[in-house]
Amino acid sequence: MLRKGSELLRGDREVLLDLDYGSEAQVSDSYGSLQNGSFIPPRYLSACRDHADDKDDEPINIDCNTRRKQPPPQPGNYFRDGRTKIDFVLVWEVRSRRRRRGRGKQRGEVTGEEGEAVPTIENSRSERRKAQLAQWREKFVQNLEGAGLLMEKEETANEKKTIHFLKLSVPWDVLVYYAEELCLRAPLQAQQNLDLNTSARVLSKLCIPNVMTESVPNRPLDYYTCAFRKSKMNRFLGCDDHENYFSNTQRHRVVYEILARTVYGKRTRAEVGVDRLVNEGAYTAAFPLHEGHFKLPSYEIPPDELNQRQVLYHYWARWCKWCKYQPLDHIREYYGEKIAFYFAWLGFYTAWLLPVAVVGTMVFVSGVMSMGTNTPAKEVCDSGANYLMCPLCNTCKAWNMSDICTMVKLGYLFDHPGTVLFSVFMSFWAVTFLEYWKRKMATLAHHWDCMDFHEEEERPRPEFAAMAPMMEQNPVTGVKEPYFPEKTRLSRMFTGSMVIIMMLCVVMIFLVTVVMCRGIISVIIFHTGSPVLRTEAGTIANISSSIVNLGLILLMGQVYTALAEQLTKWEMHRTQTQYDNAFIFKVFIFQFVNFYSSPFYVAFFKGRFVGYPSNYGTLFGMRNEDCGPGGCLIELAEQLFIIMVGKQLINNIQEFIIPKVKAWRQKRTMTKVLGGKTSHEPRGWEEDYQLVECGGLFEEYLEMVLQFGFITIFVAAFPLAPLFALLNNWVEIRLDAHKFVCEYRRPVAERAQNIGVWFNILEALSHLSVIANAFLIAFTSDFLPRLLYQYKFDNDLNGYVNFTLAYAPRNYTEYRMCRYKAFRDNNGNYTLFYWELLAVRLGFVIAFEHVVFFVLRAIDWIVPDVPESLELKIKRERYLAKQALAENQEALLVSRGRGAATATPGSSSPAALPHAPMVPIGKM
């Protein structure tokens, strides 16, 4: 029997919404199907939809004359009945009225005749806002009941604040309906879990013990699957087990889909979805629960009895597991494909760093061992006073080249034939790494049943819906939704691009400031008179300016990230994907210039515009910078070490400390509310509410992508960069794992086919690294000048130092016979060798670029994106899916045959099959 405005409903709503903000803690009660009846059948939902948008009407519920006594609470993520799973939790906080009255009197509020505080204009506006939020919560909960969700409420209160927890559960009928609508995959046939680790297969074939492998309990089974169909339930494995047929992540996804569609106000104002309610402040949090506590119990427990969170903590998040494979299937089962793809990519990238780190270390060691055989360094050290060098600044004195013997030897570590070959190797490594990642990505996408996943028509973002000025009909869905004029958006994007250009100009201004600061520091150190400091003036200035530059980089990165977020919001992108892509593009462009501008300057511009004695180039009255005694590559190596390694250390410290501080503050707030009520065991929703909200993967991807740029673009100057990246990533994996398992609330599982737009950025960086390494070898390194000298003059490089030094022009009167490094004659003009060398350099760049990109295309052609074994599995899965639908095809043929047999003679058209009308689950 249907009825409106029952006394039972009124009582439930008073407890649930707490509209009067009473200071006393209300008695907890249950909602939805647990007390108000069983699941609402679809035939009642049309009536519910008719009243869903009417603010004055009460919700329609199923009458229940008796209330069943609730059984005692049981541990775990269940309602008080001990059987109904908790799939989602909504949280909101309410301050006590008594507390607010006291504060209002202290603020000088007017007191009425009966002693009640009469609110001022500001206070009344705040009260109206709170009443509005309470009304939205009320209607939202009513519509959730109409959608068939089960509810139960808990409270935690003290004299100042009440924290309300609304537990949600999705029943079987709703799960089945949304599983078909969301195209969830259903198991057809079990198959053997394959080992997806290439290194494990290689080591197994070579009969080498693999210390990285470890047996992880409760590994999710692998199935051949197809899209779920309710009419084919009997064809799917495990269809009789309603309790465990859908995984917890699938249940969370279904509940979140309902929450995202449910109306809480007027649909014409796009007042839809829990995300917007959280943004508006109606709820303080909305999250699924973790699977219990991550710590192992004090008593002995078999591994198979561990919950999923304990398995992830014990076999993944602990530091002692740094050398073990990541349990990617468990990660995907617990967090969904989007987060699993991040950790899969990070692990794959880290594994590929291992060989290049070994090669880079060997290259560096070979440079150390061959340092004594460097003929040019010997000539410099043995030159004595033979080479009087021109002053480094206008007020400096001439100096002997033998003074820089140590720096020339150190410069050889970063500029010898091994580093050149290593940069060539890294160019091939970068493009090959991405090609094999595409294969790995396709294998994982099929293994995780998301290869054919395509995001359906995305709903508008909550912020977009709240700020859009008009409503327009969606051409895909036909439903009116918030709309923002495209011309206005384009004008805003153009304005935002101007702001980006201005910020990039600010970065360049800071770069010029650092360059001038470096020059001033070197001049000051040179004038100290100390022979040791004078010799190392350039090195000290470069290191100190690099530290200052790192501070400016991190500061500007924080400022611009906040600015880019505001600009992207102002541009009013309709969907979350469009918003994310625009935000990622802005931040990456800025961070690319922010982090790489200084290394690019040292690698390709420093020392190019110095001029020569009597005709030096100047900037703001200061002589343009020249490369240091050891060459530009050693300065580039110093900058890369400080910027790259310094950034990694600071980020790791932040990732370790900041979540703990946030969790401590959240736990402190919860402890104040609990007060002395510590007699009962902490409940799961209270524990999870104390955790930190998951901030997404943007910062994690950005950090790794910038690192990828450092180790590929500038690796010729710093062969140890892959080693430092490898060490950082071993720490990064465990830090991120610990954050997700121990410190973050459980995020809603999101589906994904790949790592998204980040793959396109990695491809762009890999192509840029090929070009950058070509120019670095050709124009910054001494490899080609030495090679050409060996070809034309002396194979042992005897006399090479003298050949590279030019005499000051005759009109330079300060030191007539001083030398400077350049291929010029006595008049300051370029020699024939310079032009020959320039032709060789340009030819090398063209040849290097063409060879590498040709090999890239060959690898792309030879190595298919989808492995052959995976193609067979895909064909097998399609065959099984076709077999599962065969019964439907046979029924269709039988029905048509019967229709034709009963048709009147002369009828040429077959009988039409009756079609049952589709009844939606409910109006969101």
Predicted TM-score of the model (pTM): 0.80
For tokens 């192509």, the residue is 767
- Strand-pair category, 819-821 with 805-807: antiparallel
3-state secondary structure of 414: coil
The mean-pLDDT minimum among 56-60, 611-615, 814-818 falls in 56-60
CA dist 191 and 426 (Å) reads 39
- DSSP secondary structure string, 9-40? HHHHHHHHH-TT--SSPPPP-EETHHHH-SPP
Q: Residue holding tokens 């051409």?
A: 475
- Condensed to tens digits (0 to 9), the pLDDT of residues 435-449 reads 889 888 888 888 888
Choice among 322-336, 622-636, 732-746 with the minimum mean pLDDT: 622-636
Tokens encoding 820: 């400077």
Q: Any idea how long the chain is? A: 924
Which pair of tokens denotes residue 326? 């990541």
Q: Give the side-chain half-sphere CA count within 13 A for 726.
A: 17
pLDDT of residue 122: 61
Over residues 477-497, mean pLDDT: 81
User: With 0-12 CB in 10 A as exposed, 13-18 as middle and 19+ as buried, what is 203?
Assistant: middle
The residues near 70 (Cβ < 8 Å, ≥ 6 apart) are: 30, 80, 81
Question: Helix 832-862 vs helix 757-775: angle between axes, to the nearest 10 degrees?
Answer: 150
**In whole angstroms, how far apart are CA 173 and each of 169, 178, 748?**
12, 9, 21
The band of 121, judged by pLDDT with boundaries at 50, 70 and 90, is: low
3-state secondary structure of 225: strand
Which of 129-133, 605-609, 703-707, 746-750 shows the lowest mean pLDDT across its residues?
A: 605-609
Task: Taking residues 396-425, report their average pLDDT.
Answer: 84
Confidence of residue 64 (pLDDT cuts 50, 70, 90): very low
Q: If DSSP codes are grouped into helix, strand and coil, which group holds residue 583? A: helix
Q: What is the rounded radius of gyration, in angstroms, for the C-alpha atoms of the chain? A: 35
pLDDT score for 343:
95
Strands 117-118 and 30-31: unpaired
Say what the pLDDT of residue 49 is.
42
120 falls in which pLDDT band (50, 70, 90)? low
Name residues whose C-beta falls within 8 Å of residue 180's C-beta, 6 or more positions apart in sequence.
227, 228, 229, 230
pLDDT of residue 258 exceeding 70: yes
Separation between Cα atoms, residue 330 and residue 221, nearest integer Å = 10
Written as one letter, the residue type at 199 is S
Q: Which residue has the higher pLDDT, 292 or 914?
A: 292
DSSP-derived pairing of the beta strands 88-95 and 161-169: antiparallel
CA separation (Å) from 344 to 270, 733, 904?
A: 37, 10, 64
List the beta bridge partners of residue 388.
400
Mean pLDDT within 204-232: 81
C-alpha distances (whole Å) from 81 to each of 68, 69, 72, 144, 155 are: 10, 9, 7, 20, 17
CA distances from 232 to 188, 227, 246, 887 (A): 11, 10, 15, 9
CA distances from 571 to 269, 300, 575 (A): 20, 56, 12
The residues, ordered by sequence, that sit 6+ positions from 659 with a Cβ below 8 Å of its Cβ are 692, 739, 743, 744
Would you state the pLDDT for residue 542?
A: 78
Residue 845 has pLDDT above 70, yes or no: yes
Which residues have a Cβ under 8 Å from the Cβ of 51 and sit 6 or more positions away?
57, 58, 59, 60
pLDDT band at 732 (very low <50, low <70, confident <90, very high): very high
Q: How many Cβ atoms from other residues are within 10 Å of residue 523's Cβ?
A: 18
Cα–Cα distance for residue pair 883/898, rounded to 1 Å: 23
H helices, E strands: number in the chain: 31, 21
CA angle 742, 745, 748 (to 5 degrees): 125
